[in-house]
Amino acid sequence: MSFKLMNALEQVGQIAAAGYGDKAFLGAVLGFIKDVTPAQLYTLIVNDVDLIGPVNEDTWDMVKRFTGSININKVTVDSLLDELRSSRLDLMGIIINTPGGERWISVQLERVKAKLKN
């Protein structure tokens, strides 16, 4: 999974450099869960798994260089859920119907934002 995460973060940097930063950031956050099954997502939520833990600091440093001009505060839990509604309705349903699911996705989003602000 960490290889996929690193690729998603690298793609964010490239897209941000092209001027589509906010959308790229949203895509990167969703990239952490886009390839999981609903059952896997449920397990991640109930076990409170940190999705960004496996990403190494060198990768974060590279992404920070490309995303410095992105207003990451525009990406919210609501915008994540809206995007999932159109692309992965099954995952959106797991998030909103699993106790603690919305809190979990909010924590994941804030962890990514914090890594990019440091």
Averages of pLDDT over runs of 10 residues in the chain (118 residues) are 57 57 72 87 94 75 69 84 91 97 94 78
Query: What pLDDT was estimated at residue 92?
Result: 96
- Judged by DSSP in three states, 4 sits in helix
Query: What pLDDT was estimated at residue 11?
Result: 62
Reported pTM: 0.75
Q: CA-CA distance, 4 to 40, in Å (whole number)?
A: 16
Number of compact structural domains in the chain: 1
45: left (phi over 0), alpha (psi -120 to 50) or beta: alpha
Q: CA-CA distance, 80 to 105, in Å (whole number)?
A: 9
Q: CA-CA distance, 34 to 32, in Å (whole number)?
A: 6
**25: domain range?**
2-117
Query: What pLDDT was estimated at residue 100?
Result: 97
